[in-house]
Amino acid sequence: MTPPAPPGLYRHPTRSEIIDLAAAEGHDADIPTNLGSILQVPSRASARPESVHEKGTSTAMEKDVEKGNGLGPISSTNEPEQDPNIVDFDGLKDPENPINWPSSKKWGMVSLISAITFLTPLASSQFAPGVPEIMREFHSTNDLLESFMVSVYVLGFAFGPLIIAPLSEMYGRLPLYHTCNFFFIVFTIAAAVATSMSQFIMFRFFMGCFGGAPMVLGGGTIADLIPREQRGTAMALWMMGPTVGPCVGPIIGGFLTVAKGWRWNFWFVAIVASAFFIMSLILMSETSGIIILQRKVNRLRAETGNLKLRSKLDTGLKPKQLFKFSIVRPAKMLFRSTICFAISLYIAITYAYLYILFTTFTAVFSGQYGWHGGIIGLSFLGLGIGSVIGQFTYIHFGNRIVNKHLQRGDFHPEHRLYIMCIGGFFIPIGLFIYGWAVEYKTHYMVPLVATGIIGFGLLMTFMPATTYLVDVFTIHAASAMAASTVLRSLAAAFIPLSSQTMYAQLGYGWGNSMLGFIATLLIPIPFLFIKFGERIRARSTVKL
């Protein structure tokens, strides 16, 4: 019988616990979480932890990443002896561990992070109703620029996180929050005072780069603070930002543009972001266990003179290796994995449809229905309501399906896709109704309901697709998600550039029908993976 661990030492975490926490924090499981790294845990085959090569990968990491079983199950026996030079948290009740902070402090930080995560996606589309006013002021009639002004923000979402993620592993979450929030405010103000179209687009791009920080870091912060069994509520609150923010923004922007002009959309965001920034300087603390333990190591080294002390979470990964994992791995997975590419392509096309609607609602509802002024922002309402309904529907029914199979003991990642099969039909149905309703100028409630159907379908495909990637790639889930994020951001930035030309050539009816036909062609993807996904993973030869 294994003797109990002495005070201050933890039992070895399970493989699933490490993988779940790494996925929440947004990095692969061979990079340490507050529970450690998958590389530091003994396998059933050997009690000795996997050796780490100079390139920062273990022998176990050479196994096929698409099979979802890069490492064997964790054994609770033959645990290695504790090195006296390893510094860990002082037991389960250590007040330095963020999980043990007072509830008021923890939930205050969660609320603040959720608010910031709501604001930055809101800024992506808030000024959309003021686009015609911007075009007049900058003396431009270029349809490409009219769309790119909105979508270039999402282009920043593609590149910012690739840099932010590895930097947070090196320097902690707090410096990245503060730095990115500060520069987000700076470039928001710059956009508010821009004097040319080129300046405006450049500042919008950098707004997106720095505005993506809370979406990269938020999940990890919540995982640091909230116990696993209570994390669902906090994650749901945090995820409302990317879902609802882009749809609420134009409603505010429509009325604000009429009252104060388009520039005040950016002053509004800058003022609110500044308030959040000041609150974060006062209320937020570092939550990364890696950084907290390293500070403890530095303190103990100074007190004891023992330079051999090292953190339990230190795997010796160098900055170059972290950047390689952040940038090279997603690219490899996107182009070498059938599952990652197909699911990412589905997400990218449907996400691009969202921004086609964002960039054209103002022109459609002003031209076809004579909406002007503040009420033009209400054209985004259907999309927002449909998205919220889709999110809660997936959470309820998706969890029921998965839990049923977990209880049976026959769960496979493909069970995540049942909801996606249903959601895929709503997108083309909504597009067909929306296009022809707008073409024939039916009552405005018809296209609003149709966009609600589209929003519902988008969330019912987007959410199960992302969770499927996490389940398939397990220890490399963050790289798969990064690959998907880059592809969808590029699609959302560039595909909408042709939307005005498409509508001019085909009309609203056939233009949206063409989008609907493409969406219909994508419907079989989840059905195919439900039938053949396990076989594809078994035959896969994808290695990192």
Indicate left, alpha or beta for 339 from its phi (over 0: left) and psi (-120 to 50: alpha).
Answer: alpha
Beta strands in 303-443 (DSSP E): 310-311
Check residue 52 and report its DSSP letter: B
Beta bridge partners of 100: none
Show the tokens assigned to 530: 């439900």
Distance (Å, rounded) from C-alpha 537 to C-alpha 410?
Answer: 17
Q: In what helix (H) or strand (E) does residue 421 lie, and over which residues does it extend?
A: helix 417-439
pLDDT tens-digit profile, the chain (544 residues): 333 444 344 456 677 777 777 766 666 776 766 676 676 655 443 333 333 333 333 333 444 566 554 433 333 334 445 677 777 777 777 788 888 889 889 999 999 999 999 999 899 889 888 898 999 999 888 888 888 998 899 999 888 878 887 888 788 889 999 999 999 999 999 999 999 999 999 999 999 999 988 888 888 888 888 887 677 677 777 888 888 888 888 989 989 999 999 999 999 999 999 999 999 999 899 988 888 888 888 888 888 888 878 777 776 777 777 777 778 888 888 888 888 899 999 999 999 999 999 889 988 999 999 998 789 889 999 999 999 899 889 888 888 888 888 888 888 888 889 999 999 999 999 999 999 999 999 999 999 999 999 999 999 998 888 888 888 887 777 788 888 888 998 999 899 998 989 999 999 999 999 999 999 999 999 999 999 888 888 776 666 6
Beta bridge partners of 87: 311
What was the pLDDT predicted at 36? 67
Distance (Å, rounded) from C-alpha 14 to C-alpha 239?
Answer: 26
Show the tokens assigned to 482: 């990064």
Distance (Å, rounded) from C-alpha 273 to C-alpha 109?
Answer: 15
127, amino acid identity: F
Rounded (10°) angle between helices 103-125 and 213-225 = 160
Q: Which of 130, 118, 124 is nearest to 374 (CA)?
A: 130
Distance (Å, rounded) from C-alpha 271 to C-alpha 260?
Answer: 15
Residues 350/519, Cβ–Cβ less than 8 Å? yes
Q: Which of 277, 268, 319, 4 is nearest to 126 (CA)?
A: 268
Check residue 13 and report its DSSP letter: P
Distance (Å, rounded) from C-alpha 235 to C-alpha 496?
Answer: 30
Check residue 68 and report its DSSP letter: T
The distance in angstroms from the start CA to the end CA of the chain is 38
Q: Which of 143, 145, 141, 139 is nearest to 204 (CA)?
A: 145
Residues 377/253, Cβ–Cβ less than 8 Å? yes
Beta bridge partners of 86: 310
What was the pLDDT predicted at 241? 83
Q: How many other C-beta atoms lie within 10 A of the C-beta of residue 443? A: 10
Domains contained in the chain, CATH given: 1-22+37-79 (no CATH), 101-285 (1.20.1250.20), 329-544 (1.20.1250.20)
Answer whether 0.85 is exceeded by the pTM.
no
Q: Which distant-in-sequence residues (6+ apart) come within 8 Å of 345 by Cβ?
A: 487, 522
Beta bridge partners of 33: 36
Q: Which distant-in-sequence residues (6+ apart) come within 8 Å of 168 by Cβ?
A: 176, 216, 217, 220, 288
Q: How many other C-beta atoms lie within 10 A of the C-beta of residue 197? A: 18
Q: Which distant-in-sequence residues (6+ apart) come within 8 Å of 521 by Cβ?
A: none
Residue linked to tokens 């090195």: 83
Beta bridge partners of 74: 43
